[in-house]
Amino acid sequence: MRAILINHLQYLRRQPFAVIGMIVLTFVFAIALGQVNQAEPLEVPVFSTNLSEAEQAGLIQSLNAKTESTVFVSEKESAVKEKLEKGAIDMGVQLERDSYKLYLSATTPNTNLIEAQIANVVQSESTLSEAAERLHTTTDELRKKVEESSGLFAVSEKSFKESEFVYDSSLQALFGFSLFFVIFTVTFTVSTILDQKRNGMWNRMILSPLTKVQLYMGHVSFSFLLGYLQLALIYTFFHFVLGVDLKGGYPMILLVIIPFLFAIVSLGILISAIATNPRQLDAVIPLISVSMAMIGGAYWPLEIVQSEALLTLSKLIPMTYGMEMLKGATLLDWSWSQFLLPASILFFMGVLFMGIGLNLMERKATV
């Protein structure tokens, strides 16, 4: 196995451009797209026809507390509609006690994110009002009690955690594109097995003292280590050099990428076993990588996807669980137990892909 690793390292030293290219592309996309919404906060005017000024101010305060990329400001209805007609703004919001309306002059990539944020706040306020009514108290008093009681706050935080939509554009871009480009690095590295079998080098290595287990483990280990070093380098650079806030989850990130990489390495073995020549690999790997990134939430958060079919399909994609664990380690502040389910699913996928892939390879070798 050591000989396989040395061979890969020598090849990487001679031709490191593919790996360097993946790292550079990750930096470019993560920096460019991650800072789009951080240049200037988007200002969204808000008006109401039924709420009092105090109630409207409370809702606006709750909305602004949820994000730093969008600022909600109070304006008169006539002023908002005039701006919409002139195209001066893309969106206006009408807030009511248990509902809201969006007025759009144009649909932008932020529309679904802002709507999800508004819906979350309106639903939370509606729940708080209903609880205050049942407890025969006011909403302000109940909110004050919730804020003052650490125990009650912890329970509320946990109960609403699953439905809460937490979004950070810089981390979304960093995690999404780092996992996307590492798929290319890992799968193309594993696919060298196919090249060696086609040019006859595999048969010569079988005649050496190396066993097949050592041959496979050498390729798999190098692909895994190369992918891990790529991700670790990217996250380390963004955190310590560019100052991206990982919410204290940097050490956990270095752990949770292990199940994802194992699943991707195994997927690379399966793809290499199914493909019959390098040309098929050149076509299949980009197709699978882009599809996984789109369905698995690498380009945009799955919380804004409304198609049940796509959400169901995302449960079969390793990218989904990789993004979940990275966000759990940073934005969502998961406990150790919450990582068990996605990690177990990724390990199961990895074992399944590798088992099928190795079986197909051996069958082709005996045919």
Q: Name every residue whose Cβ is closer than 8 Å to that of residue 235 and which is 6 or more positions away in sequence.
A: 174, 178, 246, 250, 253, 254
At 190-234, the pLDDT tens digits run: 777 666 666 666 556 655 666 777 777 877 888 899 899 999 999
Please choose, from the candidates 255, 67, 263, 261, the residue with its C-alpha nearest in 3D space to the C-alpha of residue 172.
67
Q: Which domains, ranges and CATH numbers included, belong to the chain?
A: 2-34+167-366 (no CATH), 42-159 (3.40.190)
Structure tokens at 153: 């706050």
Computed on alpha carbons and rounded to an integer, the radius of gyration of the chain in Å comes to: 25
pLDDT above 60: residue 283: yes
- Give the pLDDT of residue 90: 85
Predicted TM-score of the model (pTM): 0.66
322 vs 115, more confident: 322
- Give the pLDDT of residue 155: 41
E runs forming strands in the chain: 42-47, 70-74, 91-95, 100-104
Structure tokens at 182: 């590492």
- Give the pLDDT of residue 306: 83
The chain-wide mean pLDDT, for the chain, equals 80
pLDDT band at 254 (very low <50, low <70, confident <90, very high): very high
At 223-244, the pLDDT tens digits run: 899 899 999 999 998 899 888 8
How many CB atoms sit inside 10 A of residue 193's CB? Answer: 22
pLDDT above 70: residue 160: no
pLDDT above 60: residue 272: yes
